[in-house]
Amino acid sequence: MQALRWAVLVLAVASALAFLALAVIAFNQQFFDLDHTTHDVMRASRYPELRPLMQLLSRIGSGYVLIPLCVVLYVWLRRQSHRAARYIPGMFVGAMRRASLRMACISSARKMVPP
């Protein structure tokens, strides 16, 4: 058991150091060739045929669809006395927080990238 704790501790420290190194690199805005290549590939791979599908997926993940879906799922699970029903509100709140955080990160990143 002691060896497992040390292994987890070493992994956690290594992950934290890797995260800090990446944060310093990102803060200094140093880009690697891989970053530029990935950016070029992503820009080149935009297909107009996929636009309606992407808009549909965005609508499904929006609150207009997610809220009624969570309410229906919660009521359905509650009627069946399922234990998972109590986790639905927390999962919904987590999904909304993650979506708002993601949108904040995307909008702040767009300010730095030239059009």
In a domain? residue 3:
no
In a domain? residue 21:
no
Looking at per-residue pLDDT, the higher value among 79 and 1 belongs to 79
For 60, the domain range is 50-112
Work out the average pLDDT over 47-54. 78
In a domain? residue 42:
no
Give the number of domains in the chain.
1
3-state secondary structure the chain: CHHHHHHHHHHHHHHHHHHHHHHHHHHCCCCCHHHHHHHHHHHHCCCHHHHHHHHHHHHHHCHHHHHHHHHHHHHHHHHCCCHHHHHHHHHHHHHHHHHHHHHHHHHHHHHHCCC
Whole-prediction pTM value? Answer: 0.46
In a domain? residue 67:
yes
In a domain? residue 15:
no
